[in-house]
């Protein structure tokens, strides 16, 4: 039996523009759901991170997220896909 590799999204660009975090990338599952999660503590269990954005990969598997940055001294983000 041959196993097929499941694509993993790849972040290609991260920018901070006018107080907004802009993240874009590729290699997602076409029309698949994804979520941008955030935490102020990197060691927080993933199940406790806050979902700040829900979206769908486009017809080529690309994504683009624009999110307002919070007032915390540091924020961590992770992209979660299904």
Say what the pLDDT of residue 28 is. 92
**How open is the CA angle 57-49-33, to the nearest 5 degrees?**
15
pLDDT-derived band at 82 (thresholds 50, 70, 90) equals confident
Average pLDDT of the residues in 12-21: 90
Tokens read off for 35 = 């979520």
Which pLDDT tens digit goes with each residue over 26-78? Answer: 999 999 999 999 999 999 999 999 998 899 999 999 999 998 887 778 889 89
* Cβ neighbours, 10 Å, residue 5: 5
Alpha carbon distance 80, 36 (integer Å): 6
The whole-number pLDDT of residue 46 equals: 95
Strands (E), the chain: 10-17, 20-26, 33-39, 50-56, 63-68, 76-81
| Predicted TM-score (pTM) of this structure | 0.80
Q: Are 22 and 15 in contact (CB under 8 A)?
A: yes
Asked whether the beta carbons of 63 and 9 are under 8 A apart, the reply is yes
pLDDT value at position 73?
A: 83
- Which pLDDT score is estimated for 1? 67
């Amino acid at each position: 039996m041959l196993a097929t590799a499941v694509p993993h999204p790849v972040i290609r660009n991260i920018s901070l523009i006018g107080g907004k975090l802009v993240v874009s990338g590729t290699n997602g599952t076409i029309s698949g759901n994804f979520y941008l999660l955030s935490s102020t503590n990197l060691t927080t269990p993933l199940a406790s991170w806050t979902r700040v954005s829900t979206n769908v990969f486009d017809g080529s598997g690309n994504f683009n997220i624009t999110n307002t940055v919070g007032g915390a001294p540091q924020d961590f983000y992770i992209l979660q896909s299904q």
